[in-house]
Chain A
Amino acid sequence: MKKYMFHRIALLFALFFACVPVMQAEESEEASFDAKEIIFEHVLDNYGWEVPFSHSNRISLPIIVRDKNGDWSVFGSHRVMHGENYKGFYIAPDGDFKGKVVARDEAGNEYRPLDLSITKNVAALFITAILLCVCFIPMARWYRKHPNGAPRKWFGFMELIFDMLYNDLIKPVLGADARRYSPYLLTVFFFIFFINILGLMVIFPAGANLSGNISITMVLALFTFLIVNLTGTKHYWKDLFWPEVPMWMKCPVPLMPVIEIFGALTKPVALMIRLFANMLGGHLIVLVLISLIFIFGSMGAAVLTGTTVISVFFSLFMMLLDVLISFIQAYVFTILSTIFISLARVRGEESHEQTQIKEKNEIV
């Protein structure tokens, strides 16, 4: 086995070095290197998925749009990829909808149709979801087959993370509610963790910047917000609208209720922005470091070599850091969701006791 492994690695290296001259040739064809465009193209969503080691070839993904007349159109993204027009749909080269599929109405105005395309990010979403099912459903089956068994290898590793979340975070924070909320929290954690890690792998089945996309983090934060507010107890709502503060702070001018409600609304926004910004930042830094090679590439061989070495070293360091951040951000999102849920699950007696303890402490 080890011998074959060595062969495979050698083959991979050979392929890589074979590709280098091709890439250089492509680069020399493009006269100017627009770092900003390249970086944003990698960070943002696309209608096609790049084939490894080729910039211009894309895997065609289905575009699903509804025009103003209410007619649905489904076609492969390769039909509009290089500025072509298909049934009146084309990708806007500039303007407000730059890079998106647009169409023109009868008056000739450009408008954006209802777009439910399977873009790169949506395809990556499907892949992640399938991967999660493939990981955890066999794991559950293994547990059913081996009651009280301790899993080894891959399942053992997954159980390590599972155990860290379930026994060290969800159970201590939520107590009796742990069983009820842990399916959501575990799904959120592993979903974010998988999309983060897959986002770091640059070639085809992975490599979509999902967690650095605000649509994704917005939906995740929205789910946490909905769960927190739809399963909140009476006391949570009472604390929101009629908190236990002196009367003048809430009666004529609802100062405290406004602050409380504002706090409840900023919580999911903070969740959304934190995950989005952290993951996007990691991707941007690596992309900028790699772009530096091409920017300095025109300044001669010595500068190119120096920048290459430094950039590769730093981007490797950043990638390793991103692996850590991938885990930490998924964990932080889960921790905060757990805490927000537990804060919304306050019981009357408990909160009363807590206030009593607080009062005692203040007196002491």
Chain B
Amino acid sequence: MELFTPDFGLVFWMFLVFVILFVILAKYAWPAIMKSVDERADLIDKGVTYAQEAKSQLEHATDNARVLINEAQQKQLEILREAAQMKTQIIEEARKAATVEAKKIIDAANVSIELARKESERQFRQQVSDFALQIAEKLVRKELSGDKQQSELVDKLLSDIENKN
């Protein structure tokens, strides 16, 4: 029956040893191990999610790059088209401006020519009248016989001058 009756000495020592063992392990062993195992599990979880995110991001990145390249190419085409348009526009505008300018210059030239012509005509008339007066003076000095003949002569001379012009 000794098998089934607890022995006081052994119970006492078991109680003491187990309490001391529990205190030692609970203070110096288990908390550190539990903390480390928990932290490492968290770290591994974080690492896995990070890797998954990175992978998906990488896939996204190639897609994004493709999209960006396409966009850039389209933009390039647009810019080229715009540039061509602008070129033709500028040329057109330049041409228009040039014609306007040319017309202005031509008009100005015409006006000055007209003025010059009028001026020269005026001078010419003055000279003619001077000449006529000089001729008339000469004629008067030479012979003052017939008034009729004289005036005819003057007329003739004048029309001659005019015809010459």
Residues of B within 8 A of A163 (CB): 37
Instruction: Flag whether B22 is at the interface (Cβ < 8 A).
Output: yes
Given known A-B contacts A119-B9, A140-B32, A215-B11, A99 and B2 have beta carbons under 8 A apart? yes
Contacts of A82 in B (CB 8 A): none
User: Which A159-190 residues have a C-beta within 8 angstroms of B?
Assistant: 159, 162-163, 166-167, 179, 182-184, 186-187
The answer to whether A115 and B9 have CB atoms under 8 Å apart is: yes
A280 at interface by CB-CB < 8 Å: yes
User: Given A133-B21, A166-B37 in contact, is the A125-B29 Cβ separation under 8 Å?
Assistant: no
Whether A126 is near chain B, meaning CB under 8 Å from some CB there, is yes
Interface centre among A147, A213, A215 (most CB of B within 10 A): A215
The answer to whether A183 and B37 touch (CB under 8 A), given A119-B10, A133-B21, is no
Residues of A within 8 A of B11 (CB): 215, 218-219
- What string of 1s and 0s marks CB contacts (under 8 Å) between B14-36 and chain A? 11011011101110111111111
The docked-state distance in angstroms from the alpha carbon of A207 to that of B149 is 179
Q: Does B6 contact A (CB under 8 A)?
A: yes
Set of chain B residues within 8 Å of A139, measured between Cβ atoms: 29, 33
- Taken together as a complex, chains A and B put the C-alpha atoms of A214 and B11 apart, in Å, by 9
Q: How far is the CB of A55 from chain B (nearest CB, A)?
A: 20
User: In the complex the two chains form, is B24's CB within 8 Å of A148's CB?
Assistant: no
Alpha-carbon gap, A146 to B17, bound state (A): 31
Would A140 and B14 count as touching, CB distance under 8 A?
A: no
Contacts of A215 on B, CB cut-off 8 Å? 6-7, 10-11, 14
Q: How far is the CB of A258 from chain B (nearest CB, A)?
A: 26
User: Shortest CB–CB separation between residue A227 and chain B, in angstroms?
Assistant: 11
Most B CB atoms within 10 A — which of A118, A133, A140? A140
Q: Which residues of B contact A213 (CB under 8 A)?
A: 10
Give the residue of B2, B17, B28 whose beta carbon is less than 8 angstroms from that of A98.
B2
| A148-B43, A163-B37, A219-B11 known; A187 vs B30 contact (CB < 8 Å) | yes
Q: A140-B29, A162-B33, A184-B22 are in contact. Are A43 and B3 (CB under 8 A)?
A: yes
From A45, A132, A167, A223, contact of B10 by CB (8 A): A45
Residues of A within 8 A of B3 (CB): 40, 43-44, 214, 280
Write the A129-142 contact mask toward B (1 if CB under 8 angstroms, else 0).
10011001101110
Could you tell me if B36 and A136 are in contact, using CB atoms closer than 8 angstroms? no
Cα distance A133–B34 in the bound complex, in angstroms: 16
Residues of B close to A280: CB separation below 8 A? 3
Give the nearest-CB partner of B4 in chain A. A214
Q: Interface digits, A108-122 against B, CB 8 Å rule (1 contact, 0 not)?
A: 000000111111011
A3 to B33, CA, bound (A): 38
Main secondary structure of the interface of A (DSSP, over half): helix
CB-CB contacts of B49-66 with A at 8 A, as 1s and 0s? 000000000000000000
A216 at the interface (CB under 8 A from B): yes
Q: Tell me if A143 counts as interface (CB < 8 A to partner B).
A: yes
Q: Do the beta carbons of B21 and A147 come within 8 Å of each other? A: no
B7, B9, B20, B40: the one within 8 Å of A148 (CB): B40
Which residues between 7 and 55 of chain A lie within 8 Å of chain B, taking CB atoms?
40, 43-45
A23 to chain B, nearest CB (A): 27
User: How many Å lie between the Cα of A20 and that of B5 in the bound state?
Assistant: 37
* Nearest chain A CB to B58 CB, angstrom units: 25
Interface presence of B101 (CB below 8 A): no
Please determine whether B34 and A166 come into contact, CB atoms closer than 8 angstroms: yes
Q: Chain A contacts of B34 at CB under 8 A? A: 166, 179, 182
4 closest residue pairs by CB, A with B? A183-B26, A143-B36, A136-B29, A140-B32
Residues of B within 8 A of A (CB): 2-15, 17-18, 20-22, 24-26, 28-37, 39-41, 43
19 contacts between A and B (CB under 8 A): A40-B2, A43-B3, A99-B2, A125-B14, A132-B25, A136-B30, A137-B24, A137-B25, A143-B33, A143-B36, A166-B34, A167-B41, A183-B25, A183-B26, A186-B25, A187-B22, A214-B4, A216-B10, A220-B18
Known: A213-B10, A223-B18. 20 other contacts (CB 8 A): A40-B3, A44-B2, A45-B7, A45-B10, A129-B18, A132-B21, A133-B24, A137-B28, A140-B28, A140-B33, A143-B33, A143-B36, A159-B37, A163-B37, A183-B31, A184-B26, A186-B30, A187-B21, A187-B25, A215-B11
